Structure formats: C-alpha cells, structure tokens
Structure 1
Amino acid sequence: MAPCRPTVGHNWHMGSDIGANIRRLREEHEWSQARLAREVCRAAGLAGDPVGRQEVSRWENGKRTPWEWLPFIATALGVTVEVLRAHQERAEPPLPMLADFLPEDDPLSPLERCKGRRIGMGAVDDLQQRVHGLRLADDVLAGGDLIRPALRELRSAVRLYREGTHSSEVGRQLLRQIGELTQIAGWIASDAGQHKEAERIYRLGISAARQAEDHTLAGNIAGSLAYQFSNTGRESEGLRLAQAAFNDARAEAPPKARALYLDRVAWAHTKAGGAENGQQAMRALGEAGQALSEDSDGTESPTYLYWVDAGELRVMESRVYTELHRPLRAVPLLREVLSEYDATHTREMALYLSWLAIALVDANEPEEAATVAGRVLTLSADVASERTAERVRIVLGRLQEYAEVPEVAALLDEHEAA
C-alpha cells in the first residue's frame, strides 16, 4: 500500500484539518465512528477490523493522521482526497459529541470483564448534587455556555456506571441519575442548537430511566424530546411522543409530573395546528391546571420538578394563546407573568417578551410591539441560546408587516446596522 505522506511545505494544520473534515463528512452521512471504520475497511478490501472506532476517533481528534488510509476514507465518504485535505477555518474546537465516547451498541451495558473500583451510594449522592447544580446553572446560563461541562458530566457518569462495580440498588440509582443528567444535558444541547445531539442524549436517558424502572423520569425525558420535535419542524412526531409519555407514566406520576406532561401535550397540539388541535390544546391546559391543584405540601415530587408551578402553567397558557392568534387572552396573561418573573433569568425573560411582542403584533399594536422587541434584542444580545436567536428572527419577521410605522422602522434599521 503506497503511503500518502505529505510533501515538504504542507501546512502544519493539515493533520487537524483532515480530522475535522472526516468528522464533518461522517456526521453528514449520520454514521457512527464504528460505521465509518467498517466502510473504510470495505473500501480497502480488507477482512476483519484493522480499523476500529477508536482509530477513527484518533483521526478525528487529530491524535493520528491517516495518511495511508486517505484514499479509502475518501472512497467510503464519496469524496476526493483533496476534499479531505482541504483547510477549514475554525473559530473553536468542535463540540464533543455523545457518540464519540459511547459504544455503538448498548451505551449502558456494564463492562463485565472490567474490575473497576467499587461504587457505593456516596458516589450516587455526589452525582446527584452535580446534576442539580447543572440544573440550577441552566436557570441563569444558556446552552452555548453549558454544553461542554454538561457533556463532560454525562461522559463521566456513564463511565462510572459501566466501568465500576456496584450492587444492583446502587446501579439502579446510578441509572436514575444518568437519566436526570440526560434530561438537563439534552435541554442544554437543544438550547445550543445541537438538536441531533440532544436527541441522542434524550434517547440514552429514556433507556436509563426505563432500566431503573423510573417511569416518571422516563416520561419527563420523553416529554422533553417531544418538546424539541414540536419546535423543530417534527410536529406530528412531537404530538405522538408527548401523548405516549403522558399515557405511559401518568398512572404512577405525582401531580406536578402529570401537569408537566399535559403542558407538553398542549404545546404539541398547538404546534400541530388546526382547529381541532387548538381545542385539544386548551383541554390539555385545563387538565394540567387540575393536576397541579392536586399537589400539596405533603405530596412528594422528584427534585427535578422544582420549577413546575402555577406560574409556569400560565406561561404555557399564554404561549398557546399567542400561537393560536388570540391576543386579547395572551397579552394580559403575558404581562402578568412578566411582572412576577425573576429578572436574573435573562434567557427566559427574553423568550417570554418575544411572545408578548408577537401577541401585540396580532393585536395591531405595532408601536408597543416594537418597544417590547427592543427589550428582546437587548436581553438576547449576549445570550448563547439558539432558542432566543430563533425567537428574535420570528419577531423581526412579524414586525416587517409594519415596516412603515416609525417606531418599527427605527428598530429594524438599528438591528440591521448592528
């Protein structure tokens, strides 16, 4: 096999460029690293596994440059060697992906051959505290700020479960904490705009929660994935999954959890569109309120539901009214919610103000809508959230309908100049 060695004078970046290009093209094919390894061996006409997932990982991370394998990698990916060698400008290193450190088959299968350190409940408690700390950090920081530490925590937790030795009860509690971690890590990834990665994380969490026999947690994670589907153009999938999450978990779920499931069902119906879905959304909101009213101080709810309260249900109700173009109901409700909201939660404040701006446009109040939109732009300027970025685009798009109104024109001009 003739080696494809670089000639003298090649840019020193070439090795890392090749790794970045391999990774980018593999992800465009939606292949795992193990799948690419198999395709490279097939292209080279080799039996067995002379190239494996770990070797592909070394290529992509720049730890090893596959000079002699380049023609076969190019063939497997359907490109030329020149495409693999092309220089890529990169502002920062690529985000770590769950697939980089999880096996292709079952990411939660314990390594029976591995005699790792003995894991006790102390390790579970420590992980629980870190998960809750990450959840609290998400209240004030956006996905772009948190995705790297979130994925590092998830990687560490999965390794702890797989590589350590533990009793069945400790293993079940570890799986439960992995499930809770995937819920917040998936939310963070989704907020950072990494929707495919978020879906992989959520699916891992559903598996962990089901293995731990925690159906309430599995329903919560599935509902989070349904919410992402509903917001990213997969409305029918979102509706089916939201309903399935509610149906599977409601029998043993505490009132707060049922209220949250129903909240997501309401949103899924709203995003699915149509008069009948609108009616179903309002019915689900009513049932969510009823479920929450059954909650009392003596009712035990999981810690991760600390944020579910009457105020959050009003937020969803106001968003549903806005989406259904019912501004007379949406505007006063949003104003009430915003008057009570914690101003330190910048991302959420920007998001809720964006709904108010849209409702004001629907109410034919472009001047006030422009004022509210200005606050949205100011709050979201330094927030690393794809959710707020998307809402800004939607608000500005709706304001274009009133581009001749002086207040709106001034806001649009200022935004364009910025």
Structure 2
Amino acid sequence: MNDQARRAQFGAHLASLRRDAGLSQRSLALRLCAVAGITTLTRNEVSRWERGGRIPDAWLPPLAQVLGVPLHELEQAAAYARGDTHAALPGVAATLADLLPDGDAVEPLAAPCGRRIGATTVEGLAARVHGLRLADDVLYGGDLIAPAFRELRAAVRLYRESEHSEETGRGLLVQIGELGQIAGWIASDAGCGEDAERAYRLGISAARQAGDAVLVAQLAGSLGYHLSNGGREREGLELANAAVVEAGPDAPAATRALFLDRVAWAHTRAGEAQPALRALGEAHAALDATDGPPAPSWAYWVRREELEVMDARVFTELRRPLRAVPLLQDVLGRYDATHAREVALYRSWLAVALADANEPEQAAEEARRVIDTSGDLPSERTAERARTVLRRLKEYKDVPEAREVLADHGHLLLA
C-alpha cells in the first residue's frame, strides 16, 4: 500500500472517531484550540487531516483528550500513516493479502474442512451482503471499509474452514464474490485503491469457481471502472469489454446495460468519443429489453436515471455541455436527496458542464453546493470531484462568484 493510501485510511479513521464523538469538523477545531490554549487551528486544517493531506502529529495528545481515545492508539495510527510497517490502524481493516492465495489471485480457494453448514448459513450471509449494499447508498467509504472487509474475511474463512455440500459451497462462493465487489467499491470510495483492486480480484476468483458468469462480469467491470478512474485507462477498457463478453448477450437486461455503460465510460476516459457514444446507445437499448432472465439482487439500483447520469458524465467529459446540463438538471430534480454522496457527485458534473458552457456564475453556485454537501463526507470520490470543480473554476477567477468560492474553499486543493 502506498503512502497516500495509508494517509487516506488514517484520515478516514480520524473522521470516524470525530463522528462517534458527535462533533463537526468546526466544533472539533474549537475544542482542540481550547485544550491547547491557542486559536490558530481551523476547520480547514481538520478537513485536511481527514482527507489524508497531513498527519496531525503535534495535535495527537489534544485529539486523544477531546475524542476520548487512548493516546497510544492515535500514535500507532499516525505511525501507520507515515509508513511504519510494524504499526496497525485501529478499527480499519487490513489489506486482503492474508486472504489471497500465493501467486495468481484467481487460483482456487483452499478446500473446506470443519463444522458442517447448509443453506441457512448462506441465506444469512446473503442478507448481510445486501444490507451492506443498502448501507452504501447512504453511508460512505470511510464509514464502511472496516465492516465490509471484516465481512469479507469472515466469509472466506467460513468457506475454507467449514464442511458443506457442493451446492452450499457454490452459494458461499457467490456471496464471497458479491462481498468482493461491494468491498472493492467501498475501499475505492475510501481512497484505498490497492485494497479495492485486491477485493475485486478475490471476488473474481470466487465468482469463477461458482460458475456465475454475470457476477464475474460485474466484478471485472467494477475493476475496469476503478482502473479507468485511476489512470490505467487501457487496462480499464480491456476489462470493461471483457465483462460484456463474459456476461454474454443473454445476460439480464439491467446487468447488460450496466456493463455497456462502463464500456462507454472506459472509452471516454481513453479519449475515444465515438465508441463511447455508441456504447451509451447500446446500454439504453439493453435496458429496454423485456425478455431474458430477471436481474440479480445486486443490480437493484440500475435504472433509467442512472443511465442518464452516465450519459451526462460522458457528455461533460467530452466537452458537450449543451447535452450534459439539461440531463443533469432533470435527474437532480428527481433524485433521492438522502443519497448525499451521489447528489454531490452529480452536482459536481453539473458544475463542470456549466463552466464548459461559459456559465461561471451558475458553475460557482453548483460548486458551493457540492462542497457544502460533501465537506464532511468520508468519501474520496466526492473529495476528488470537489477538487476537480475548484480547478475548473480557477479558469474563471476574475468572475466574482467563482473568486468567492475559491477564496472560501481553495484550501481543499492542498489536501
């Protein structure tokens, strides 16, 4: 794991401790100033700590006092963030190295042995997996990374250490695959990219052994999306296309639409406009299909408005704001406001599209909404999108509205 990922994990851990104490970033800064007897610490500096931009070494004793945690735990966490291989991060899951077989990550998992389990155990695990997916709709990577990886480790251990029928074993492998997907998504949201990739690859291994081609495609497409967004565009595109092939033409309509949407995004990130637009059209056509098998439970969120958001993201990335802005405004007018992360993300695309349309005043208004919505969220996705919007507004720094937003929130670019 690289240094930035360690600092991001430390920041997520610190943010979790703050929320457990019932404090906002501003109130934490005020209490720390009172304990230390100074007045120079601001909410912006607390935000920088929680985004992994800085380690608050000198502030560890006051933090321990205000947050009500042992000082040695914070010191150990800070050592972990600085790259000490002998330190651990309390409350945050370790990487998946202990779960993966030596060598190739898609080698079969070890043969089971131990207590016998049956379908009831698989059903209970499936319910917890779906509960974790639903939690991700309203919570964020920093909140969920520990329970997600704990569930994943426990599921792998259950498969390896229990006795079960072939059917039960396949059911366990399917749930490990689904857990690998949601744990990878959560780790990516928490800014832990290497952990995300490991989780996705473990999930692919399990789904392949289970013979679930659609789930393999879901994991491969998720990993491709992760790589496309992380600067590995060609690898991401290869995986996105492979997912469509793996699932096949008879895959459930919602899943095929999802996989084609990821192809569109991968082409967009690779700078290939026409293939991206073709894939968008194919995704809509796939979702319109009325025949075929029912969608798996993990595809519950794939619907028309989600495809429209991807349309708008592609149009924005391709600098076609006249197509992006109306779509985003329409979707945001109908979107569930309890999904704060998604609302912040979609508004960030709207802000960029408005800037591209030479509407800096409206772009600045949307940028402020993005930051107000996402400021305290333990989500690296929203943090990075906020930085993207601020960088775009710098091109309009002579416009008063944009200049005010940059003056209030420009420090986020230093995180």
- Alignment TM-score > 0.5, same fold: yes
| TM, length-normalised to structure 1 | 0.76
**In 2, Cα distance between equivalents of 1:285 and 1:219:** 18
Q: Which residue of 2 aligns with 1:214?
A: 212
CA contact (8 A) 2:313 2:349 kept: yes
Does the residue aligned with 1:379 lie in a helix, a strand or coil? helix
Q: Which residue of 1 aligns with 2:337?
A: 343
Q: Which residue of 1 aligns with 2:233?
A: 235
Structure 1: gaps spanning 5 or more residues: 1-11, 27-58, 62-89
Does the residue aligned with 1:344 lie in a helix, a strand or coil? coil
Aligned length: 339
Superposed CA offset, 1:156-188 (max 9, x none): 100110000000110001100111111111100
2:207 is aligned with 1:203? no
Q: Which residue of 1 aligns with 2:109?
A: 109
User: Cα–Cα, structure 1 residues 303 and 269, in superposed 2: closer, same or farther, change >3 Å?
Assistant: same
**In 2, Cα distance between equivalents of 1:137 and 1:295:** 30
Q: Which residue of 1 aligns with 2:309?
A: 315
Q: Which residue of 2 aligns with 1:281?
A: 276
| TM, length-normalised to structure 2 | 0.77
Q: Which residue of 1 aligns with 2:395?
A: 401
**In 2, Cα distance between equivalents of 1:335 and 1:220:** 29
| CA displacement at 1:21 relative to structure 2 | 6.5
Does the residue aligned with 2:138 lie in a helix, a strand or coil? coil
User: Cα–Cα, structure 1 residues 23 and 173, in superposed 2: closer, same or farther, change >3 Å?
Assistant: farther
Q: Cα RMSD between the aligned structures?
A: 2.5
2:298 is aligned with 1:300? no
| CA displacement at 1:101 relative to structure 2 | 4.9
**In 2, Cα distance between equivalents of 1:21 and 1:407:** 41
| 2:337 partner amino acid | A
Q: Which residue of 1 aligns with 2:131?
A: 133
CA contact (8 A) 1:380 1:388 kept: yes
**Out of 286, 291, 316, which is 2:286 matched to?**
291
RCO higher in 1 or 2 (8 Å CA, sep ≥ 6)? 2
CA contact (8 A) 1:265 1:281 kept: yes
**In 2, Cα distance between equivalents of 1:94 and 1:126:** 24
CA contact (8 A) 1:256 1:295 kept: no
**Out of 137, 150, 153, which is 2:151 matched to?**
153
Q: Which residue of 2 aligns with 1:142?
A: 140
CA contact (8 A) 1:327 1:359 kept: yes
User: Cα–Cα, structure 1 residues 186 and 295, in superposed 2: closer, same or farther, change >3 Å?
Assistant: farther
Does the residue aligned with 1:137 lie in a helix, a strand or coil? helix
**In 2, Cα distance between equivalents of 1:365 and 1:186:** 37
| 1:384 partner amino acid | P
**In 2, Cα distance between equivalents of 1:232 and 1:307:** 24
**In 1, Cα distance between equivalents of 2:80 and 2:395:** 42
**In 2, Cα distance between equivalents of 1:381 and 1:281:** 32
Structure 2: gaps spanning 5 or more residues: 1-70
Q: Which residue of 1 aligns with 2:96?
A: 98
2:218 is aligned with 1:225? no
